[in-house]
């Protein structure tokens, strides 16, 4: 095989390795972003639930202290009622006390219902918090692992790119020129492919003309596939 082609195949495999690393870095990066999104979503939900739970507890305590104050008022009114001499005043206090007792009863019922609800709710909430915090911990661990994998891959990628540059710095033949044009255009790898059985380009798997096969066999100038534009070569049989 032509030396230029041999070098190109070597360059292509170096390029391919660097490209694989780059792809892996991109995938890891996307995964990290997904995990970060999930983490902040869970954290926001956790805060929201905490606040709602606190709100319910506050409401419960506020009702309880309102109950205490109503009970204190009732006691005071009863004492006043005992010392009153006027029938009218006595009756008015009697009505006010009955009213207060109804309010106290309603509030007691409300507090009992709330307490019941709070206890059930709190149990479920605590369980949920424990599960969520475990999930968060796992997500953080996974993120840490991915960040470290990404970092090491980035180091590898930089080394691979340097290796490619070192290798190609001395290449300057028509085959190499054709390869770099295709690479610059973002042609999908592999860029240089063998012609396989049935005169097919092994890049796009379509047939190439007999003329192209003949030129590629002579191997004096770069030959491209008429269909996909990849560089073609003929594998030598040993
Ligand atoms: Zn092709």
What is the residue extent of each domain of the chain?
Answer: 12-169, 175-233
Mean of the per-residue pLDDT values of the chain: 95
The pLDDT of residue 236 is 76
CA 238 to chain centre: 52
> DSSP class of residue 190?
P
Query: What does the pLDDT average to over 91-108?
Result: 96
**CATH class in words for 12-169:** mainly alpha
Give distance in angstroms: CA of 202 to centre of ligand 1: 7
- Look at residue 86 and tell me whether its pLDDT is greater than 60: yes
Give distance in angstroms: CA of 227 to centre of ligand 1: 5
Give distance in angstroms: CA of 193 to centre of ligand 1: 8
The pLDDT of residue 238 is 55
Range of lowest pLDDT (60-64, 97-101, 217-221, 231-235): 217-221
pLDDT tens column, 191-201: 999 999 999 99
Take residue 30 and report the two structure tokens written for it: 């996307």
Backbone angles phi, psi at 2, to 5 degrees: -50, 135
Give distance in angstroms: CA of 168 to centre of ligand 1: 24
């Amino acid at each position: 095989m032509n030396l230029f082609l041999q070098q190109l195949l070597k360059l292509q495999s170096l390029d391919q390795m660097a490209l694989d690393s780059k792809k892996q870095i991109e995938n890891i990066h996307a995964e990290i972003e997904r995990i970060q999104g999930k983490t902040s979503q869970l954290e926001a939900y956790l805060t929201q639930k905490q606040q709602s739970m606190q709100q319910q507890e506050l409401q419960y305590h506020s009702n309880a202290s309102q109950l205490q104050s109503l009970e204190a008022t009732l006691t005071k009114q009863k004492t006043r009622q005992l010392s009153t001499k006027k029938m009218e005043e006595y009756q008015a206090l009697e009505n006010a006390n009955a009213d207060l007792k109804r309010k106290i009863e309603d509030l007691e019922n409300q507090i009992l219902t709330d307490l019941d609800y709070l206890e059930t709710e709190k149990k479920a909430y605590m369980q949920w918090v424990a599960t969520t915090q475990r999930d968060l911990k796992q997500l953080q661990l996974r993120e840490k692992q991915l960040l470290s994998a990404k970092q090491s891959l980035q180091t590898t990628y930089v080394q691979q790119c340097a290796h490619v540059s070192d290798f190609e710095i001395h290449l300057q033949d028509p085959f190499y020129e054709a390869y770099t044009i295709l690479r610059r255009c973002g042609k999908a790898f592999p860029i240089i492919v063998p012609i396989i059985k049935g005169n097919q380009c092994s890049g796009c798997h379509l047939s190439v003309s007999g003329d192209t096969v003949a030129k590629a066999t002579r191997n004096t100038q770069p030959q491209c596939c008429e269909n996909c534009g990849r560089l073609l070569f003929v594998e030598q049989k040993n």
